[in-house]
Structure 1
Amino acid sequence: MSTSEMISTGALSIMGLILLILLAQYLRLRELWKMALVCRKSANWARIWEMENRELRSALRAEKAHIEQLQRKLVILQELIPAQE
């Protein structure tokens, strides 16, 4: 094997190695990209759930306030009933 053939074979081997490294990097980046997309989707769902939770907590506070108001009215009405007898 001549020197030029050895150099060509070495260069071809190095290019093959570089191609394998690039392929491995591509596969890793593709997995990272998929993870980023899943993370983004999860973050969107988390935002939606947080908004729903805020709305539900607000509705719960309003219901509790309404119940307290009705309980106060009931106490007033119960106080009026014995007075009428």
Structure 2
Amino acid sequence: MDVRNLPWIGAGLTVVDAADPTLVGRSGLVMDETRNTLQLLEGDRALTLGKAGVSFSIDGFTTVIDGSLMRQRPEDRTNRNYPKV
């Protein structure tokens, strides 16, 4: 199954590239996902990331996901058919 169709809440996420260089390398567990943001639990702090400005990977998968292409509601994202990468 494609990682873009899986639910991300509870999964580990690592920022691979970002418009803000201070975000690169940050990682944590996905606590919540909205149309435009991801909320991570990083240690004991919550970090909210805008999907539009980051590329990230989900733990256990080698695919790097461009957040700007994933700007849709989670329930729509999991049911969508994506082109092969």
Quick one: higher RCO (CA 8 Å, sep 6+), 1 or 2?
2
TM score, norm. by length of structure 1 = 0.11
Larger fraction in helix: 1
TM score, norm. by length of structure 2 = 0.11
Larger fraction in strand: 2
